[in-house]
Chains A and B, each alone.
Chain A
Amino acid sequence: EIVLTQSPGTLSLSPGERATLSCRASQSVSSIYLGWYQQKPGQAPRLLIYGASSRATGIPDRFSGSGSGTDFTLTISRLEPEDFVVYYCQQYGSAPATFGQGTKVEIK
């Protein structure tokens, strides 16, 4: 099983700042099958990025994904108030699929 480790656990930033979230895999992940999700309280997760770097339908361009192999990054270029929630990475190319433990972005 591929273990995904997200860091940091909590990221404290101010609106307008840049956020960089990391997702590290215990073994190589096919980039085609690496996704990032945003989850607001009481809601289902929302797909932001698939294939490591492709934005999902309707996702603002301030969200971008990069990386390959074992290291992947989600970048939010300028934080908006609604971005201060929890983010998860998932790999679904190697059975079983797995999620990272999440990164909470909070207002500083």
Chain B
Amino acid sequence: QMQLVQSGPEVKKPGTSVKVACKASGFSAVQWVRQARGQRLEWIGWIAVASGITNYAQNFQGRVTITWDMSTGTAYMVLSSLRSEDTAVYYCAAGYDGSGYLHWGQGTLVTVSS
């Protein structure tokens, strides 16, 4: 599997926003997933690369935006109004329709602390 390349770790203050990048050219869909230390995987949202259609988990509605930059083959996830509970490793994963999410990024640690 090809490993996707994500941007580096971030430390943010509560109430601010974070933008995480994921280089993922050549795939039909990209999803974002996060995992707090010792916790389960939590789905954040998804973008269909060709159409730009997005879908977000209810827990993140209004706080998350996923976009695709066709010129660089990079997906972005912006999470706003950060709180301490958003401290987690954020992963992107990409795949082709019907073939699952085979390719994953290395993860980006986002720490929210005052």
Contacts and interface: CB of A to CB of B under 8 A. Distances in A.
A97 B43 contact: yes
Interface stretch (A11-19, A39-47, A68-76): A39-47
A4 B42 CA distance: 12
Interface stretch (A20-28, A50-58, A77-85): A50-58
A98 B58 CA distance: 11
Which range contains the number of B residues in contact with the other chain? 20 to 34
Contact of A88 (B40, B46, B95, B105): B40
A1 B55 CA distance: 12
B87 interface: no
Nearest to B6: A44
A51 B98 CA distance: 7
Contacts of A96: 43, 45, 55-58
Nearest to B107: A44
Interface in B64-114: 91, 93, 95, 98-102, 104-107
A1 B40 contact: no
Nearest to B101: A47
A1 B58 contact: yes
Contact of B41 (A32, A47, A88, A95): A88
Contacts of B106: 44
A27 to B, nearest CB: 16
A45 B41 contact: yes
Interface string B49-69: 000000111100000000000
Contacts of A57: 1, 102
Given A51-B99, A56-B100, A97-B43, 9 more contacts: A32-B98, A45-B91, A50-B99, A50-B102, A57-B102, A92-B101, A96-B45, A97-B57, A99-B41
6 contacts: A45-B93, A47-B102, A49-B100, A56-B102, A57-B1, A90-B41
